[in-house]
């Protein structure tokens, strides 16, 4: 029976051949249990716990008779959604609709390494400028997709070297001496320098020093200064302070801290999250009488942070990693096809996208829907003009920055674009390409002067490629009107394609779409995409992988704002608040 | 800022203050130098043209051909192994077979991608690679892990991005930017020749690191177990780099590297590619000289040939793509195929360019005396293994070559071209090399492939 069914499937339904084979290529077990797959009047029933290989003959016949390309696509989509698809959250099960994203904030890790930007900004905060010659370090995106997750921020060996060497360079910098206006010729030099040392330490550690710390610093300073007159004592202390874990780790408030210490630590934690730098003394002073362990006070504090232009840093870091557009350093387009489009042009476009989005989010109460569907203006440029096309280019995903980031050097890349949409907009996981993918790519025989659709039509017939590419390329091909830098394709190219000719299927939505604008509008109307966005944003703001509790809260926020969408600034605020201490 | 550090500081100061202890340290250094060995593992992509590499005549006579001609000076220090194969390794535990990716990992780890013990996904060879195994016996425990130099490395598939695997699921990638390696290992360490001031600076650095240890340990006392684990890993990183940050004064590297030396170099351009190789090798030599590390890898390209070599003639890069398609698949675009002879010649010519740089490296190492052994050079204690992920570029994994330079301290018999029995597993050659370097491992990679066999003809004692 088993072999007969397999034979029928493979012999009669060529699509099934691709379907089953592709499942295997996607890392799925072809003997895994399938859910019911229903495609309107073509009913394809596979019992949820029945193995494909052991289906009764009758049902197998039904499958083979009713099979069609659309059904296969939808079936494959459902399967990816089921076992590869949204792994980061599962809706509703076990949730007790909590409307506040802050509720699980109590479990933040007590210690967090500063990011590269936070490290530099902290130095600027203390010394007025970042000394020349320091080695830079940047954090790498980890499992959350963002570079700020506490669990991913570790001191690697190269980073340990950088931190130690930077501390030494800081200790010898002019900037350090500028914060020590003590005259070595004056009789009160030692007293002056000692008090400045203690101030410097408190600034570096971002909290008052303990008595033991102060006493040790005094002793070290005095000993150093006796042996090495002049500024060397200060340098020795500074070397220690900037190499200290108390400087390069952010220490969060603990229940055992004093009330004042909690206030200071929470203020710095929130400020690091939004401004990427410690809280300013002015802000600390302004909130001196507030109890920042309380959610209400924290919301006021956060609102203050978000009103400041420095809040753009947070928006920028989120967008660069969520949209995967942090590519100025590696942006290289074909110099003949795209003469003049260089890293500088890309950087100015990227700046425009970030500024536009930050304005919409921070000042205009933007939601995900408005961010991805409102009209946008592409900045005018003499170096490399790109037209806005106000009627057809809507939302951030049609901004040239985004399109150029998800394209090849010489052509658009529907696979990359589709991969982004699946992974970052829908939170699906698409398996990595098989090891021999480039061999297969090499073997494709394309017609002369092919369109991007020609390549897809070949891939979707290959069993080892089909199911994953069917997940990605129909979505990516919606952008086929744009070239590799986001300009309109040539009239000749546009004549040869039909934008709406690909079928797509995602959870709760299937069909064709007119173009990218139409597709994005449809996608963003789904609960799945909205959930995914809240999931991404909250995990970035909270700087950790979300727990089930977080996800339940995210779900309830989406459900309660289903029509208009959740204002992004609200998600940020709720995710930041840490009410339980 | 704990009181425990006072003990540490006292110990550090006492060390520097005591002439007897210093003499003991110097004696230890000399003793260590007598058994010091180094290993360089070098990878270049997409195989060789065997008949344009080396040809065995009679007995130990062999003739260097196009690719190896630039290394004629070192012929008597070469050990060429012909007829190696990764086929058995690739077939050992999985039916999936990809010559570039699996050949790549088979060549350097003796294993291929399997479901990882880390997360159940297939994502890397079984590991560890030969450089890591060699480091287990060659490194002073305090010196750094193997250091990985790269020229245009990259690639989309993890198993063919790097030749170095610390363990299953733990790839170590190559640094293509010499400036970053310089920053990590050498910047700020230039000597001004003033020993007493330097010594004082070293004392300060030592006590700063002691403070870091103490502060981290303080922090660990008041955190949950998960955070404690992270902090312990951080602490270990500081322990590992202590030697790099505080190099001993005698061997301090004197090297300068300016941004203008490397910025804007395009590795697809022949001249720039050579410059990058030279810069990486310069840093490698400085690291050896300072004993910052004793094992390093140099990876040029990666295991599926994404490299675009702009200097090659039309046909080689007819489609504006890369070596892999045009040579391995002989695809000249528009349905035209390059001839085998043409592809063989191109491959040999590219490798000759690399051989020229290897020649310079060997000469440089020969010119520098070994620390504590003035009658020996750095090269006398260095072995270099040059390999690719396949034999002939057209996906042949049964005609692989290993070319060794150096005798691993007199253990290997150099000056010979060995024609091994067909399909000799590369695992056997790697195992023999590891044993020559002093490793006691019973096998290399998948044990069932090499079965603990060494290639006795490779050994001087045979």
The Cα A1–Cα B212 span in angstroms is 69
**Contact between B96 and A111 using a beta-carbon 8 Å cutoff:** no
**pLDDT band per the 50, 70, 90 thresholds, residue A435:** low
The Cα A53–Cα A487 span in angstroms is 49
Q: Which of A150, A238, A435 should one mutate to test binding to chain B, selecting the residue with the greatest count of B CBs within 10 A?
A: A435
Beta-carbon contacts of residue A261 (< 8 Å; ≥ 6 apart): A207, A208, A253
**Contact between A110 and B216 using a beta-carbon 8 Å cutoff:** no
The Cα B222–Cα B220 span in angstroms is 6
pLDDT recorded at residue A417: 94
Pick from B100, B113, B208: CB nearest A243: B208
| Closest residue of chain B to A156, computed from CA coordinates | B237
Answer whether A168 touches B (CB < 8 Å).
yes
Q: Which of A431, A362, A428, A379 is nearest to A569 (CA)?
A: A362
Q: Give pLDDT tens digits for B171-180.
A: 888 999 998 8
Chain mean position to CA B424: 23
Beta-carbon contacts of residue A120 (< 8 Å; ≥ 6 apart): A130, A134, A136
The Cα A321–Cα A424 span in angstroms is 10
pLDDT recorded at residue A100: 58
Cβ atoms of A105 and A579 within 8 Å: the answer is yes
The Cα B170–Cα B156 span in angstroms is 16
Answer whether A140 touches B (CB < 8 Å).
no
**pLDDT band per the 50, 70, 90 thresholds, residue B187:** low
pLDDT recorded at residue A5: 24
Q: How far is A210 from chain B (nearest CA, A)?
A: 10
Q: Give pLDDT tens digits for A179-206.
A: 887 777 777 777 888 888 899 999 999 9
In chain B, residues with a C-beta closer than 8 Å to the C-beta of A244 are 1, 211-212, 215
Which of A48-62, A366-380, A538-552, B72-86 has the least mean pLDDT? A48-62
**Contact between B245 and A161 using a beta-carbon 8 Å cutoff:** yes
Question: What number is the average pLDDT over the span A215-221?
Answer: 80
Task: Cite the DSSP H helix spans in A308-342.
Answer: 312-322
Q: Where are the domains of chain B?
A: 1-34+190-246, 38-189+254-458
Q: How far is B375 from chain A (nearest CA, A)?
A: 34
The Cα B68–Cα B56 span in angstroms is 13
Answer whether A249 touches B (CB < 8 Å).
yes
Answer whether A430 touches B (CB < 8 Å).
no
**Contact between A162 and B224 using a beta-carbon 8 Å cutoff:** no
pLDDT at A332 exceeding the cut of 90? no
Cβ atoms of A395 and A373 within 8 Å: the answer is yes
| Beta-bridge mates of residue B424 | B84
The Cα A39–Cα B216 span in angstroms is 60
Q: Which residue has the higher pLDDT, B307 or A577?
A: A577
pLDDT recorded at residue B100: 67
**CB atoms closer than 10 angstroms to residue B23:** 10
Q: Which of A283, A277, A357 is nearest to A323 (CA)?
A: A357
pLDDT recorded at residue A189: 77
In chain A, residues with a C-beta closer than 8 Å to the C-beta of B234 are 113, 154-155, 160, 245
Residue A18 token pair: 């691709």
Instruction: Please report, for residues B81, B410, B434, the alpha-carbon distance to residue B407 in angstroms, rounded to integers and kept in the order given.
Output: 14, 5, 12
pLDDT at A304 exceeding the cut of 90? yes
In chain A, residues with a C-beta closer than 8 Å to the C-beta of B238 are 155, 160, 164
pLDDT at B22 exceeding the cut of 50? no
In chain A, residues with a C-beta closer than 8 Å to the C-beta of B160 are 435
Answer whether A239 touches B (CB < 8 Å).
yes
Instruction: Look at residue A407 and give its three-state secondary structure.
Output: strand
| Beta-bridge mates of residue A509 | A506
Residue A187 token pair: 């009789």
In chain A, residues with a C-beta closer than 8 Å to the C-beta of B244 are 161
Which of A507-511, B5-9, B375-379 has the least mean pLDDT? B5-9
Answer whether A246 touches B (CB < 8 Å).
yes
The Cα A506–Cα A73 span in angstroms is 10
| Closest residue of chain A to B158, computed from CA coordinates | A435
pLDDT recorded at residue B322: 56
In chain A, residues with a C-beta closer than 8 Å to the C-beta of B204 are 236, 239
Q: A-B interface: how many C-beta pairs under 8 angstroms?
A: 121
In chain B, residues with a C-beta closer than 8 Å to the C-beta of A159 are 237
Cβ atoms of A353 and A401 within 8 Å: the answer is yes
The Cα A501–Cα A492 span in angstroms is 18
Q: Which residue has the higher pLDDT, A86 or A531?
A: A531
Residues 205-224 of A with CB under 8 A from B: 210, 212-213, 216-217
In chain B, residues with a C-beta closer than 8 Å to the C-beta of A165 are 187-188, 245
Beta-carbon contacts of residue A369 (< 8 Å; ≥ 6 apart): A524, A525, A564, A565
The Cα B343–Cα A524 span in angstroms is 51
Answer whether A433 touches B (CB < 8 Å).
yes
Long-range contacts from A439-442, C-beta under 8 angstroms, 24+ separation: A439/B98, A439/B100, A440/A464, A440/A465, A442/B324, A442/B325, A442/B329, A442/B331
Cβ atoms of B292 and B185 within 8 Å: the answer is yes
Cβ atoms of A385 and A333 within 8 Å: the answer is no
The full DSSP string for A346-360 is: HHHHHHHHHHHHHHH
Cβ atoms of A28 and A83 within 8 Å: the answer is yes
- Name the burial class of residue A372, with classes exposed (0-12), middle (13-18) and buried (19+) by CB atoms within 10 angstroms of its CB: buried
Pick from B183, B216, B222: CB nearest A135: B183
Architecture of the CATH domain B38-189+254-458: 3-Layer(aba) Sandwich (3.40)
The Cα A559–Cα A547 span in angstroms is 18
The Cα B61–Cα B294 span in angstroms is 32
Q: Give pLDDT tens digits for B303-322.
A: 766 667 777 765 555 445 45
Which of A163-167, B51-55, B202-206, B215-219 has the least mean pLDDT? B202-206
Which of A166-175, A308-317, B314-323 has the least mean pLDDT? B314-323
The Cα A309–Cα B80 span in angstroms is 64
Residue A115 token pair: 């990011």
Give chain B's end-to-end CA distance (angstroms, integer).
60
**Contact between A155 and B331 using a beta-carbon 8 Å cutoff:** no
Q: How far is B241 from chain A (nearest CA, A)?
A: 6
The full DSSP string for A270-292 is: HHHHHHSSPPPHHHHHHTTTS-T
pLDDT recorded at residue B188: 52
Cβ atoms of A176 and A170 within 8 Å: the answer is yes
In chain B, residues with a C-beta closer than 8 Å to the C-beta of A111 are 219, 223, 227, 230-231
**Contact between B204 and A213 using a beta-carbon 8 Å cutoff:** no
Q: How far is B328 from chain A (nearest CA, A)?
A: 10
**pLDDT band per the 50, 70, 90 thresholds, residue B277:** very high
The Cα A450–Cα B80 span in angstroms is 47
Give chain A's end-to-end CA distance (angstroms, integer).
63
**Contact between B245 and A240 using a beta-carbon 8 Å cutoff:** no
**Contact between A161 and B100 using a beta-carbon 8 Å cutoff:** no
Q: Which of A24, A108, A130 is nearest to A465 (CA)?
A: A24
Q: Give pLDDT tens digits for B39-52.
A: 999 999 888 898 89
**CB atoms closer than 10 angstroms to residue B249:** 12
**pLDDT band per the 50, 70, 90 thresholds, residue A308:** very high
pLDDT averaged over every residue in chain A: 77
Percentage of residues of chain A with pLDDT beyond 90: 38
| Closest residue of chain A to B100, computed from CA coordinates | A436
pLDDT recorded at residue A415: 92
**Contact between A164 and B245 using a beta-carbon 8 Å cutoff:** yes
Question: What number is the average pLDDT over the span B121-143?
Answer: 75
In chain A, residues with a C-beta closer than 8 Å to the C-beta of B325 are 442
Question: What number is the average pLDDT over the span B248-276?
Answer: 80
pLDDT recorded at residue B173: 86
**Contact between A437 and B238 using a beta-carbon 8 Å cutoff:** no
The Cα B159–Cα B172 span in angstroms is 11
| Closest residue of chain A to B144, computed from CA coordinates | A157
The Cα A496–Cα A451 span in angstroms is 8
């Amino acid at each position: 029976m088993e072999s007969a069914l397999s034979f029928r499937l493979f012999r009669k339904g060529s699509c099934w051949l691709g379907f089953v084979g592709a499942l295997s290529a996607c890392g799925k077990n072809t003997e895994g249990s399938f859910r019911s797959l229903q495609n309107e009047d073509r009913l394809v029933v596979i019992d949820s716990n029945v193995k494909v290989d052991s289906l009764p003959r009758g049902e197998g016949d039904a499958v083979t008779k009713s099979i069609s390309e659309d059904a296969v696509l939808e079936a494959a989509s459902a399967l990816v959604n089921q076992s590869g698809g949204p792994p980061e959250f599962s809706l509703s099960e076990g949730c007790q609709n909590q409307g506040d994203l802050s509720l699980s904030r109590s479990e933040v890790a007590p210690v967090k390494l500063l990011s590269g930007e936070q490290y530099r900004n902290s130095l600027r905060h203390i010394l007025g400028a970042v000394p020349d010659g320091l080695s830079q370090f940047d954090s790498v995106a980890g499992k959350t997709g963002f570079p700020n997750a506490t669990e991913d921020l570790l001191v690697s060996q190269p980073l340990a070297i950088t931190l130690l060497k930077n501390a030494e360079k800081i200790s010898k910098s002019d900037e350090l001496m500028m914060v020590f206006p003590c005259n070595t010729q004056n009789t009160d030099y030692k007293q002056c320098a000692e008090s400045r040392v203690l101030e410097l330490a408190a600034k570096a550690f971002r909290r008052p020093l303990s008595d033991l710390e102060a006493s040790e610093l005094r002793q070290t300073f005095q000993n150093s200064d006796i042996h090495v007159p002049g500024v060397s004592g200060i340098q020795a202390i500074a070397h220690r302070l900037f190499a200290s874990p108390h400087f390069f780790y952010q220490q969060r408030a603990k229940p055992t801290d004093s009330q004042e210490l909690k206030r200071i630590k929470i203020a710095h934690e929130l400020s690091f999250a939004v401004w990427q730098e410690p809280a300013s003394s002015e802000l600390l002073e302004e909130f001196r009488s507030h109890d920042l362990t309380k959610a209400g006070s924290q919301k006021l504090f956060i609102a203050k942070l978000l009103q400041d232009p420095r809040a753009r840093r947070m928006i920028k870091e989120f967008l660069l990693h969520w949209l995967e557009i942090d590519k100025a350093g590696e942006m290289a387009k074909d110099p003949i096809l795209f003469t003049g489009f260089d890293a500088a042009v890309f950087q100015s476009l990227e700046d425009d996208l970030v500024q536009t989005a930050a304005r919409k989010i921070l000042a205009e109460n933007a939601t995900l829907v408005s961010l991805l569907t409102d009209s946008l203006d592409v900045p005018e440029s003499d170096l490399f003009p790109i037209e806005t096309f106000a009627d057809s280019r809507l939302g951030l995903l049609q901004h040239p920055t985004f399109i150029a980031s998800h394209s090849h050097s010489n052509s658009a890349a529907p696979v990359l674009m589709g991969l982004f949409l699946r992974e970052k907009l829908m939170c699906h996981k698409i398996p990595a390409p098989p090891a021999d993918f480039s061999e297969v790519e090499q073997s494709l025989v394309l017609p002369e002067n092919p369109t991007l659709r020609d390549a897809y039509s070949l891939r979707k017939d290959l069993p080892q490629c089909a199911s994953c590419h069917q997940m990605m390329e129909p979505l990516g091909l919606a952008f086929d009107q744009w070239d590799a830098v986001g300009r309109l394709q040539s009239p000749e190219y546009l004549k040869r394609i039909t934008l709406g000719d690909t079928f797509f299927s995602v959870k709760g939505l299937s069909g064709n779409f007119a173009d990218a604008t139409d597709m994005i509008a449809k996608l963003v109307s789904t609960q799945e995409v909205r959930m995914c966005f809240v999931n991404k944003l909250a995990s970035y703001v909270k700087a950790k992988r979300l727990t089930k509790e977080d996800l339940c809260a995210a779900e309830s926020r989406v459900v309660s704002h289903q029509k208009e969408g959740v204002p992004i600034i609200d998600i940020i605020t709720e995710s930041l608040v840490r009410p339980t201490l | 800022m704990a009181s425990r550090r006072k003990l540490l500081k006292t110990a550090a100061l006492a060390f520097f203050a005591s002439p007897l202890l210093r003499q003991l340290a110097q004696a230890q250094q000399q003793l260590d130098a007598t058994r010091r060995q180094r290993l360089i593992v070098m990878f270049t992509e997409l195989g060789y043209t065997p008949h344009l590499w080396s040809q065995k005549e009679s007995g130990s006579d062999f003739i260097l051909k196009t690719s190896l001609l630039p290394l004629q000076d070192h012929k008597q220090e070469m050990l060429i192994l012909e007829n190696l194969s990764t086929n058995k390794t690739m077939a050992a535990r999985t039916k999936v077979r990809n010559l570039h990716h699996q050949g790549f990992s088979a060549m350097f780890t003796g294993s291929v991608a399997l479901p990882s013990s880390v997360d159940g996904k297939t994502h890397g060879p079984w590991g560890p690679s030969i450089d890591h195994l060699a480091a287990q016996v060659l490194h002073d425990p305090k010196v750094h892990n193997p250091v990985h130099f790269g020229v245009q490395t990259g690639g989309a598939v993890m198993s063919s991005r790097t030749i170095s695997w610390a363990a299953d699921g733990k790839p170590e990638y190559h640094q293509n930017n010499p400036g970053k390696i310089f920053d990590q290992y050498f910047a700020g360490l230039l000597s001004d020749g003033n020993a007493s001031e330097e010594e004082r600076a070293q004392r300060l650095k030592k006590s700063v690191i002691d403070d870091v240890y103490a502060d981290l340990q303080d922090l660990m006392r008041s955190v949950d177990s998960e955070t404690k684990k992270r902090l312990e890993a951080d602490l270990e990183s500081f322990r590992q780099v202590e030697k790099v940050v505080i190099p001993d004064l005698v061997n301090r590297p004197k090297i300068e590297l300016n941004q203008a030396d490397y910025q804007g170099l395009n590795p697809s351009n022949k001249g720039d590619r050579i410059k990058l190789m030279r810069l990486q090798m310069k840093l490698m030599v400085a690291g050896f000289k300072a004993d910052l590390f004793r094992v390093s890898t140099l990876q040029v390209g990666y295991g599926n040939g994404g490299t675009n070599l702009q200097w090659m003639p039309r046909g080689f890069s007819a489609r504006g793509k890369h070596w892999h398609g045009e040579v391995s698949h002989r695809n000249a675009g528009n349905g035209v195929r390059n001839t085998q002879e043409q592809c063989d010649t191109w491959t040999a010519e590219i490798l000759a360019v690399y051989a020229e740089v290897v020649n310079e490296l060997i000469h440089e190492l020969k010119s520098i005396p070994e620390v504590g052994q003035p009658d020996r050079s750095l090269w006398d204690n260095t072995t270099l293994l040059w390999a690719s992920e396949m034999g002939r570029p057209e996906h042949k994994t049964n005609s692989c070559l290993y070319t060794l330079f150096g005798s691993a301290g007199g253990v290997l018999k150099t000056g010979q071209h060995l024609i091994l029995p067909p399909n000799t597993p590369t695992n056997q050659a790697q195992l023999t090399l590891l044993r020559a370097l002093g490793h006691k491992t019973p096998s290399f990679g998948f044990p069932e492939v090499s079965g603990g066999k060494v290639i006795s003809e490779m050994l001087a004692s045979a």
